[in-house]
Each structure stands twice: as structure tokens, then as C-alpha cells.
């Protein structure tokens, strides 16, 4: 495959920090190892990070949540047809993070870091009076180095972390890393989707089909304000990418919407769909029905995986007790 094609397939839909790191490896024919991408991929379960950041959750509960996410992410990857051979899984607390080499580097990094520099990494770190979250940025940066990845995928809210890592890693003898920066999905109600917001504002992986339909049919669609719409973002960032992955696996299932003229139209490109939205060719209800159908189609194999996995069900009760 041409270098340009590979680069585009890795970076499609995300912003890129330090793209030269990825490009140079591709140009020199070197293997590419990332936290997440269509290359050699490492999924890193940052359970120690979770414990240090969520200082009101016990270490035992974090362990259950880690197990929960291991089941969930495996189910998601299976449902997307991602080949297991290309992925390695590393759990922070069971990895190199207790090796003396890691701890020594953590100390050296701490000496290089200022309190202000750490707090600048993000709101999660800056806004808490607790001490442990301050350990997170350094440990995340070192994880990139010890995993030996060349780039990491993370959300927009991770930019501060990524910059911090690149400011300290070279001073510790490690290479800088490139970063793929995922836009954050807006909530169905318009603002940022977050696990700390009301359940009705977001779709969860294990929501029932009825719940999904109800949440999506109940959300706001304002034809005069398409920017920032949670509904459209879901089409752009979840549904269209999903149809592209499906197509690459030989499954031809596009995103279909009922137009205001009564016809049904199937979209393979977001721009086409967005253009029709702007022209008023699709109604809010038409979009919602199409989105609900497709999201349910995407989630169904994950739900089935959960329904047939007693261990996952048990761990869910322990991880998220009512």
C-alpha cells in the first residue's frame, strides 16, 4: 500500500500531533506500534491511573471495572471484526509499572516536572485538591515509552497530557511520540458526552434496544443549528466510520434515512448527508429513526456477548453496584 494511503487510513477522522513521527517510520519501512490504530495495536487498560484519578473508588472496585472493560472492549473489537492477532492487551497494574526501571524513571520525571506543569495537563488534574491525580500525567507518558509505541490515540481532552509527555520523555532518554487526537462526541443534549452526565444524554454500550431508541427519539434536532448537534456527530463519528469498516469486511450496509419526500436514501459519505440536512431534505424524525436503527445494529452483538457471558454480568454488579 502506498505510504500516503496507510497514513490516511491511520489518521482518518482524527487530528494528529507530531505527524512526522508516523510519516518518517512509514517512509523508512519501519513497523508502527500504537495505542490504537490499524497497525500493530496495544490496548492499555490504565487501571492504576483510574485508581489514582478516582480517589473515591476503592482499589477492589477499580479491579472489577477493569475486568468489565476487558470484556467490553473485547466484545467491541470482535463485533467490528478486528483481527485479534494484531492486538496486544496490557493492564497497567500487571505490567512493567512495578519494575524498578519504571519507578526510577518515574522519580526522574517527577524531578523534571513542575507542579504547575502537571496541573496544566487537564481539568481532571487541576481541579482536585487530592494528591494522587498528580501522579497520572507522568505515568501515562512513561507508559508510552515502556510500551514502545510510536503514537497514542486519545481524546481532545488528552492534549495537555500528550504535550506534557513530549516535553519530558526526550529528557529521560526516550523518543517523542505522535498522538492521534479524537474529537469528543457531543452529548445527545448538545454538550460534551461524559460518563459523569445523566444517562439520558448518552448512549451506553449495554443499553437495551428500547433505551437506545427512546434516548435518540427524545433528543433535540434543530435544523437551524446543525453545528454541535449530538445526533449529527453520532452519524459523522460513529455510524459512517462503522459502515466504512463494515464495507472493508465485505458487509454492505449503509446508513439509511427517510427523506421528507417519502423516499429512503442510503449515505456512505458524511458530506452528502450533511448537505441534505442543510437543504432540509431529511426530517429530524427521519434522522433519529435511521440513527437509532443503526446504533442498535452496532450494539446488538455486544449485547449478545454480554447476555451469554455470566462472568461479565457478575463483574458488572460488583463494578457498578446500584
Is there binding between residue 12 and its own copies (CB under 8 A)? no
Cβ neighbourhood burial of 234 (10 Å; 0-12, 13-18, 19+)? buried
Q: What is the largest CA-CA distance in the chain?
A: 67
Give the integer Cα–Cα distance in Å for 160 and 222.
33
CA 114 to chain CA mean position, Å: 29
Number of residues that bind its own copies (CB under 8 A): 25
Closest-CA residue to 211 (of 294, 292, 290, 283):
292
Cβ neighbourhood burial of 131 (10 Å; 0-12, 13-18, 19+)? exposed
Binding mask 111-150 for its own copies (x = CB under 8 A): xxxxxxxx----------xxxx-xx---------------
Is there binding between residue 52 and its own copies (CB under 8 A)? yes
Determine contact, residues 43/284, Cβ cutoff 8 Å. no
Contact region for its own copies (CB under 8 A) — 34-42, 98-106, 142-150, 287-295? 98-106
Tell me the closest approach of the beta carbon of residue 163 to its own copies, in angstroms. Answer: 16
Q: Which is nearer to its own copies, 130 or 245 (CB)?
A: 130
**Sign of the C-alpha dihedral computed for residues 94, 71, 44 and 135 taken in this order:** negative
Tell me the closest approach of the beta carbon of residue 56 to its own copies, in angstroms. Answer: 9
Q: Which is nearer to its own copies, 21 or 46 (CB)?
A: 46
Is there binding between residue 249 and its own copies (CB under 8 A)? no
Tell me the closest approach of the beta carbon of residue 52 to its own copies, in angstroms. Answer: 6
DSSP letter string, 226-252 = -TT-HHHHHIIIIIHHHHHHHHHTT--
Q: Which is nearer to its own copies, 142 or 216 (CB)?
A: 142
Is there binding between residue 251 and its own copies (CB under 8 A)? no
Is there binding between residue 100 and its own copies (CB under 8 A)? yes
Backbone angles phi, psi at 12, to 5 degrees: -65, 130
Q: Which is nearer to its own copies, 93 or 309 (CB)?
A: 93
Closest-CA residue to 242 (of 280, 165, 174, 295):
295
Is there binding between residue 108 and its own copies (CB under 8 A)? yes
Q: Which position among 35, 36, 45, 51 is part of the footprint of its own copies (CB under 8 A)?
A: 51
Q: Is 152 helix (H, G, I), strand (E, B) or coil?
A: strand
**In the numeric block, which cell numbers belong to residue 155?**
481524546
Q: Which is nearer to its own copies, 131 or 195 (CB)?
A: 131
Contact region for its own copies (CB under 8 A) — 32-40, 50-58, 186-194, 314-322? 50-58
Instruction: Using the structure block, give the residue that is written with the C-alpha cell 440513527.
Output: 291
Give the integer Cα–Cα distance in Å for 276 and 264.
13
Q: Which is nearer to its own copies, 44 or 242 (CB)?
A: 44
Give residues in contact with its own copies (CB under 8 A).
Answer: 48, 51-52, 55, 59, 98, 100, 103, 107-108, 110-118, 129-132, 134-135
Amino acid at each position: 500500500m502506498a505510504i500516503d494511503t496507510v497514513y490516511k487510513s491511520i489518521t482518518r477522522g482524527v487530528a494528529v500531533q507530531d505527524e512526522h513521527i508516523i510519516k518518517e517510520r512509514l517512509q523508512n519501512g519501519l513497523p508502527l506500534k500504537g495505542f490504537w490504530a490499524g497497525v500493530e495495536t496495544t490496548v492499555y487498560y490504565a487501571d492504576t491511573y483510574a485508581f489514582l484519578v478516582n480517589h473515591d473508588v476503592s482499589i477492589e472496585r477499580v479491579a472489577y471495572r477493569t475486568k468489565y472493560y476487558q470484556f467490553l472492549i473485547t466484545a467491541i473489537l470482535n463485533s467490528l471484526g478486528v483481527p485479534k492477532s494484531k492486538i496486544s492487551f496490557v493492564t497497567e497494574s500487571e505490567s512493567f509499572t512495578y519494575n524498578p526501571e519504571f519507578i526510577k524513571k518515574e522519580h526522574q520525571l517527577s524531578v523534571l516536572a513542575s507542579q504547575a506543569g502537571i496541573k496544566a495537563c487537564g481539568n481532571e488534574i487541576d481541579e482536585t485538591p487530592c494528591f494522587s491525580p498528580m501522579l497520572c500525567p507522568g505515568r501515562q507518558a512513561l507508559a508510552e515509552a515502556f510500551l514502545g509505541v510510536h503514537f497514542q490515540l486519545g481524546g481532545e481532552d488528552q492534549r495537555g497530557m500528550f504535550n506534557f509527555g513530549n516535553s519530558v520523555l526526550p529528557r529521560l532518554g526516550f523518543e517523542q511520540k505522535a498522538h492521534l487526537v479524537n474529537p469528543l462526541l457531543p452529548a445527545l443534549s448538545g454538550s460534551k458526552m461524559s460518563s459523569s452526565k445523566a444517562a439520558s444524554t448518552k448512549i451506553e454500550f449495554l443499553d437495551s434496544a428500547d433505551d437506545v431508541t427512546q434516548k435518540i427519539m427524545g433528543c433535540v434536532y434543530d435544523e437551524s443549528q446543525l453545528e454541535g448537534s449530538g445526533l449529527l456527530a453520532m452519524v459523522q463519528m460513529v455510524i459512517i466510520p462503522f459502515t466504512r469498516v463494515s464495507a472493508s469486511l465485505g458487509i454492505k450496509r449503509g446508513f439509511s434515512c427517510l427523506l421528507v419526500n417519502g423516499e429512503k436514501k442510503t449515505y456512505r459519505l458524511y458530506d452528502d448527508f450533511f448537505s441534505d440536512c442543510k437543504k432540509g431534505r431529511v426530517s429530524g424524525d427521519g434522522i433519529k429513526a435511521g440513527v437509532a436503527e443503526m446504533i442498535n445494529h452496532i450494539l446488538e452483538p455486544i449485547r449478545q456477548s454480554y447476555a451469554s457471558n455470566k462472568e461479565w454480568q457478575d463483574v458488572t454488579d460488583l463494578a457498578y453496584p446500584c
